[in-house]
Chain A
């Protein structure tokens, strides 16, 4: 994408920090800063059942708890989707509007593995990545002949085509409108108990749906096997993404975004670089699709609808395109709003504002009402607009601004701060 000029200041804050000196390697081939980031993300995902359930079970605020398996799974699965999308969009600037197609294809591949082979999720997940990768190779090969808006339109066209095909012509493979789900009479040739009972998705016997409940006082925390599997997969995906960001390949992808002409006149063929990025991000999408099936053994074509492709764009931009952690944050924020804000109804609002005089209460409820329940999209839209206008670098840039504010205050307090930290804000 040659002809969009970015404001160097915003680009600076959104750009992954790279010091141009030899990087000390802390562990796992990561620099100290990246390693710290990875540790933080590991801690957050492993402790998520606690962190997302801060309110006692029976309390008023319990509806803001997000620590139930279904939602936690969605956080990490969409996190994977967004991490992969960011490798393409964040680094190369190529905006795909059809990534849901790869998610959908991955899902179909996974469900077929479960129907034909086994309810063990490993073959399903592996195949979903492979099939999505092959499909991405095809779509990318054609779409990457154009850049800018034409590229976006081509990917959108492919995705909508896939959606329509899954809905109609391909019904024998996709189940059409009703989609596919695990059934009792599936062959499942590797499963001993096939044909007798409905199999459950499992990892060598550990059922994805199995949960352990921990009760501490009024608080209740749920530890779900499926969540932890998806979380570990996400951590591996996140780790690989950091490695990619800091690699020569990652640098070349940023060069594509910055000045593709110069890249070509420098002896680099930008096409295979963008195609590799496209395939890798398609594989992440397929992985997310496979995990969705592993958590909930069914698929429908709506998974490939264009709104699903748009959602991952929003997640990435909201969190901070081109940053490491941004897309995961964006995915979490959107899924939280979709599931929590949408649950609030007018009764709850009346309860909140009940301390006010009746007239005022009704007026306030009337004002807030359009933003909750089914209106959560409106809230999301407004948040998105505010972020894009005031924080072009996404939530990550917001976090950096806050961190800088704190640091400045600290310095006023007398503590000498390292200049390096100021120059290279951590993500």
Chain B
């Protein structure tokens, strides 16, 4: 049994079968990549995992519990954090506040009425936030407005927000898109470091094959809403079905 078990999941948008009978099993403490051409249904699949979408058919189990029917914040509290394809951050807040919020959420739960404490006097939260920002090399931008960051920095910030929650399962939807080469490599190193430091499962969607082959232990190829193959990276590289899916040579 994997930590994440997706069984027979289907999702339609009108006449479009975005997901068609998807089965996926992600083993605990591995990095599992999902690749596939644009419109393959990769983001839709993640949406079904975090409560953004409810699949028409099938089941999604995380850590032995069903995810379906739970609200997004409940799913997050189970231990799933997600980095979105287009950065979802608190644009009006500072970088520091952006990272403090998920740390509060993990420590105090989905709701806590601390209306009489000073947010900055919470030493525990402050130190954890500083450590996290140091890890992603963003301490110098701590007082910047999140909305004013570059696209790459926004992504790094969102990753810091998710990592700061110490999730059991981290979902990354194209985490390096829009990043400069150097930042992409930093991100790879960061994820490797995190992986080495503690138990974490990662599910990563990526078009950049350099990132995929640097990190992934298993790869699932998705095309037109169905998984084509799932295997270790070495077997995926020259796989004819994969080339077919990407280049559309056959038929």
Q: Is A215 part of the contact surface with B, judged by Cβ < 8 Å? A: no
CA distance A21 to B96 in the complex (A): 9
Q: Mark A18-39, 1 if CB is under 8 A from B, else 0.
A: 1111110100010100000000
A23:B120 contact, CB within 8 angstroms: yes
CA distance A21 to B52 in the complex (A): 35
With A248-B117, A266-B102, A267-B73 in contact, is A258–B91 under 8 Å at CB? Answer: yes
Q: Is B145 part of the contact surface with A, judged by Cβ < 8 Å? A: yes
With A8-B148, A266-B101 in contact, is A22–B120 under 8 Å at CB? Answer: yes
Of the candidate stretches B32-40, B82-90, B216-224, the one touching chain A is: B82-90
In the assembled complex, which residues on chain A have CB atoms less than 8 Å from the CB atom of B100? Answer: 251
Query: From residue 10 to 60 of chain A, which have CB atoms closer than 8 A to chain B?
Result: 11-12, 15, 18-23, 25, 29, 31
CA distance A205 to B119 in the complex (A): 42
A251:B111 contact, CB within 8 angstroms: no
CB distance from B139 to the nearest CB of A (A): 10
A248:B89 contact, CB within 8 angstroms: no
Q: Is A423 part of the contact surface with B, judged by Cβ < 8 Å? A: yes
A269:B147 contact, CB within 8 angstroms: no
B90:A258 contact, CB within 8 angstroms: yes
Q: Mark A73-99, 1 if CB is under 8 A from B, else 0.
A: 000000000000000000000000000
Q: Is A410 part of the contact surface with B, judged by Cβ < 8 Å? A: no
CB distance from B123 to the nearest CB of A (A): 8
CB distance from A35 to the nearest CB of B (A): 12
A265:B92 contact, CB within 8 angstroms: no
In the assembled complex, which residues on chain A have CB atoms less than 8 Å from the CB atom of B77? Answer: 267
In the assembled complex, which residues on chain B have CB atoms less than 8 Å from the CB atom of A168? Answer: none
Q: Is A318 part of the contact surface with B, judged by Cβ < 8 Å? A: no
B93:A254 contact, CB within 8 angstroms: yes
Give 12 pairs: A residue, B residue, CB < 8 Å, sorted on A: A8-B92, A19-B120, A23-B120, A25-B118, A244-B116, A247-B118, A249-B114, A249-B115, A257-B92, A259-B91, A266-B102, A268-B110
In the complex, besides A251-B119, A269-B73, 11 extra interface pairs with C-beta distance below 8 angstroms are A8-B147, A18-B97, A20-B97, A255-B97, A258-B90, A264-B72, A265-B76, A266-B76, A267-B105, A267-B109, A268-B105
Query: A residues near B, CB below 8 A?
Result: 5-6, 8, 11-12, 15, 18-23, 25, 29, 31, 243-244, 246-252, 254-255, 257-259, 261-270, 272-273, 276, 280, 423
Query: B residues near A, CB below 8 A?
Result: 50, 52, 71-73, 76-77, 81-82, 88-97, 100-102, 104-106, 108-123, 126, 142-143, 145, 147-148, 161, 165
